[in-house]
Each structure stands twice: as structure tokens, then as C-alpha cells.
């Protein structure tokens, strides 16, 4: 069987890994000359938001990709609202993963597991690839689903990033929620090595000019002074597909709507969708049916983000007060049974009953 993969990112490589272990050598096309994002950054996996993600993790476990190494365990999370600040400490609040070009990044770790044959500097159009039984669109973009009219845009976001040299400790992450400078999203600072951190501001539906304003406001309001090596902006569109398969094209990762849009970084969803696409090809399963539970979960998280976006400034403080209550802190961070209660439900309840009164 002949399978082509467009894109050697995390979903494309995960798919290739499983296909190879099932005896199929895919032809992988990558438009860049190398593996990984064009810049290094850290992806967080916060345990507080892990509830429900077994839906992704089970695929990583099934194919032995669940042992990707983080750069560190998180021991401290500082969250700040307009007035309220909450610090949570624990032995293991989550993980920091490297993403990007460097040797320890998630994509490099998957890449090193097999002797993948990648055709670099090949920018391909999944719609015009001929001679393959299946084509995996793992391009990280909705370009092809848009051409096919099967894409609904859910979220348009700008991420402004600064690479900074005076880092927070490798086991610490900071998250800010304040409508004054995020409009309706959030900002975070987290390290990705012993010497460097990334400061990111994420704003939905903003223009380049809005972003300039929000970034300056963010730095001034939070009195953030640092040595920035470089700053950059990334446009990021999240969409949902009517179905993640169109004829013989299977869409994975961001191209298939498998995102994780509340401080999730798309690592688990991207890898899991790539693995599932390969599993469906190998075992002749219906990808659209098998992927349904994952996509339902993505929709739920998108709903949660939409809910957070409706919060007023004072609601963020109330949410932090709620999360910072000693009993709740203890329950959420240290008690797996409590974490099993859906976080969305907590937020919805808090938003309706507690905050709006």
C-alpha cells in the first residue's frame, strides 16, 4: 500500500511511526529543510487540564509514544488576574516539553525513533498528489479543507512571543488573565531551557495593530522588564471539519481540527490523531467514526475557552479566588478523583452561580 504524508510535524511523524511499525513505508513530504517548528518554545501540560485527555493518551500508550521526555516537571504555577494572584506548589503539577528545532523537542524525539525517509523542501498540495492509496494531510493548516469547503473557522488568534534571557526557574510557569491587555485570552511565561524562557501573549480576533497595543499594555501593566533576544508573531487559525476524511485524504493535527485550545499546546491531540489515522489505514477502520470522541472533546474545550472569553475582568479574579481556596487547591491539584470531575463543569458552575451574582 502507498501512503503519502504532507508535513513532518508532530501529527505527521506520529502517523509515519505507526505506519512503519505496521509495515508501511510512507513517503513524507516536508516543505522546510528540517524537522520541527521554526523556533523553539515550550509546550506545557498542566495536570489540572488533563482531565478527559485519556482520549488522546490511550493512543500514545497503545503505540509506545507515551514516553516522550519532558524537559522538566512543573512544581510551581503562578496565576495572576487583574487584582488576585494565586500560587500553587506541588511535586508534579505538570510538564514542560520542548518544541522546535532543538535535539530534545517532541518532534525530534519522535523523529529519532525510526529511520524516516523524508523529502525535505517539498511543499506539496495534498489534492494533487497522485499514485497513493491514502494521503495524510498533516500540514498544520486548514488550506486543503478550506479548498474543499469542509472547514469551519472556530478561532483566529495571534500569539506574540518574546524569547527572554532572564528566565524563571525551569520548574515554574506563570499565567496571566486580564482583559485589559488580552482582550479575551491569556498570557504565559514558561522556560524551555535553563537559560531561556518564552513570554507569550495570546489574543483572539486581533489585528496586527491591536496586538502592538496589547503587547505594550501587557509589559507596562505587569512591569515586565527583560532582555529579549527576539520577538515574533504567529497567526494561528483553529477550525473544525465536517469530517476528518475526504475520499482518500485523512486530516490530522491542526489540519483535521485536532487542537487543544485552552493552554493545551496541541501536543497530545496532534500525536493522537496521527496515530489514529495510521491505525485506521492499517486495520481498515473508519477514521471519521474512530475520531469522533476526540473531536467531541476538542469541541468541549473550545466551548470552555468561549466561556472564559465571556468573563469580565472581575470574573477572572473570582475564578482565581475560587481556584486559590485552600480546599479547592488541595482537591484540584492533589486529588486525582476530584480532577476526574470535569473542569468545564466547575468553570460553568462557577461562572453561573458564583460569579454572576
Choose one: 5-13, 80-88, 330-338, 349-357; the region binding ligand FAD (CB under 6 A): 5-13
Size, binding site for ligand FAD by CB under 6 A: 34
3-state secondary structure of 61: helix
| Burial group, residue 223, by CB count within 10 angstroms (0-12, 13-18, 19+) | exposed
Between 80 and 138, CB nearer to ligand FAD: 138
Between 244 and 270, CB nearer to ligand FAD: 270
For the CB of residue 307, give the shortest distance to ligand FAD in the complex, in Å: 16
3-state secondary structure of 200: strand
For the CB of residue 109, give the shortest distance to ligand FAD in the complex, in Å: 13
Closest-approach residue to ligand FAD (CB): 9
Please count the other Cβ atoms lying within 10 Å of the Cβ belonging to residue 242.
13
Place of cell 488573565: 177
Place of cell 486580564: 178
DSSP result, 246-268? ETTEEE-GGGGT---TTTTTTHH
Between 105 and 318, CB nearer to ligand FAD: 105
Site for ligand FAD in 122-181 (CB under 6 A): 122-124, 138-141, 159, 161
Between 15 and 88, CB nearer to ligand FAD: 15
Q: How far apart are alpha carbons 347 and 341 in whole angstroms?
A: 11
Site for ligand FAD in 255-314 (CB under 6 A): 255, 259-261, 264-266, 270
Q: How far apart are alpha carbons 66 and 46 in whole angstroms?
A: 16
Between 167 and 270, CB nearer to ligand FAD: 270
Choose one: 247-255, 310-318, 334-342, 348-356; the region binding ligand FAD (CB under 6 A): 247-255
Instruction: Kindly state the cell numbers that stand for 284.
Output: 481498515
Single residue of 17, 27, 40, 41 touching ligand FAD by CB under 6 A: 41
Site for ligand FAD in 176-235 (CB under 6 A): 200, 234
- Judge contact between 66 and 283, C-beta under 8 A: no
- Judge contact between 176 and 80, C-beta under 8 A: yes
For the CB of residue 253, give the shortest distance to ligand FAD in the complex, in Å: 2
Place of cell 504524508: 5
Between 187 and 318, CB nearer to ligand FAD: 187
Q: Is 98 in the site for ligand FAD (CB under 6 A)?
A: no
- Judge contact between 64 and 162, C-beta under 8 A: no
Single residue of 3, 8, 203, 249 touching ligand FAD by CB under 6 A: 8
Place of cell 488522546: 56
72, containing H or E segment: strand 72-80
Choose one: 120-128, 182-190, 321-329, 345-353; the region binding ligand FAD (CB under 6 A): 120-128
Choose one: 29-37, 51-59, 81-89, 336-344; the region binding ligand FAD (CB under 6 A): 29-37
347: Cβ–Cβ under 8 A, 6 or more apart, which residues?
Answer: 304, 307, 308, 319
Task: By CB under 6 A, name the binding residues for ligand FAD.
Answer: 6-12, 29-32, 37, 41, 122-124, 138-141, 159, 161, 200, 234, 253-255, 259-261, 264-266, 270
Amino acid at each position: 500500500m502507498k501512503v503519502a504524508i504532507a508535513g513532518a510535524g508532530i501529527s505527521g511523524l506520529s502517523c509515519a511511526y505507526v505506519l512503519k511499525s505496521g509495515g508501511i513505508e510512507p513517503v513524507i513530504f516536508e516543505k522546510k529543510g528540517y524537522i520541527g517548528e521554526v523556533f523553539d518554545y515550550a509546550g506545557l501540560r498542566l495536570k489540572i487540564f488533563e482531565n478527559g485527555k485519556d482520549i488522546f493518551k490511550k493512543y500514545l500508550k497503545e503505540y509506545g509514544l507515551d514516553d516522550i521526555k519532558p524537559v522538566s516537571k512543573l512544581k510551581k504555577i503562578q496565576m495572576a488576574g487583574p487584582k488576585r494572584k494565586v500560587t500553587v506548589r506541588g511535586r508534579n503539577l505538570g510538564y514542560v516539553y520542548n518544541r522546535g528545532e532543538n535535539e530534545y523537542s517532541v518532534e525530534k524525539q519522535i523523529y529519532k525513533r525510526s529511520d524516516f525517509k523524508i523529502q525535505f523542501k517539498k511543499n506539496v498540495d495534498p489534492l494533487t498528489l497522485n499514485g497513493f492509496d491514502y494521503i495524510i494531510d498533516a500540514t498544520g493548516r486548514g488550506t486543503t479543507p478550506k479548498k474543499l469547503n469542509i472547514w469551519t473557522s472556530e478561532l483566529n488568534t495571534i500569539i506574540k512571543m518574546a524569547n527572554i534571557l532572564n528566565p524563571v526557574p525551569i520548574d515554574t510557569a506563570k499565567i496571566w488573565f486580564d482583559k485589559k491587555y488580552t482582550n479575551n485570552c491569556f498570557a504565559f511565561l514558561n522556560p524551555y531551557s535553563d537559560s531561556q524562557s518564552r513570554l507569550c501573549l495570546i489574543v483572539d480576533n486581533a489585528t496586527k495593530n491591536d496586538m502592538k497595543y496589547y503587547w505594550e499594555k501587557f509589559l507596562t501593566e505587569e512591569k515586565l522588564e527583560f532582555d529579549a533576544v527576539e520577538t515574533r508573531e504567529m497567526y494561528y487559525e483553529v477550525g473544525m471539519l465536517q469530517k476528518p476524511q475526504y475520499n482518500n485524504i485523512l486530516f490530522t493535527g491542526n489540519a483535521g481540527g485536532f487542537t487543544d485550545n485552552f493552554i493545551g499546546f496541541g501536543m497530545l491531540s496532534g500525536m493522537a490523531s496521527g496515530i489514529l489515522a495510521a491505525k485506521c489505514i492499517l486495520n481498515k477502520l473508519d477514521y471519521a467514526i474512530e475520531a469522533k470522541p476526540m473531536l467531541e472533546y476538542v469541541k468541549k474545550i473550545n466551548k470552555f475557552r468561549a466561556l472564559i472569553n465571556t468573563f469580565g475582568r472581575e470574573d477572572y479574579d473570582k475564578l482565581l479566588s475560587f481556584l486559590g481556596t485552600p480546599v479547592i487547591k488541595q482537591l484540584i491539584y492533589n486529588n486525582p478523583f476530584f480532577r476526574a470531575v470535569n473542569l468545564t463543569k466547575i468553570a460553568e458552575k462557577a461562572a453561573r452561580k458564583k460569579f454572576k451574582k
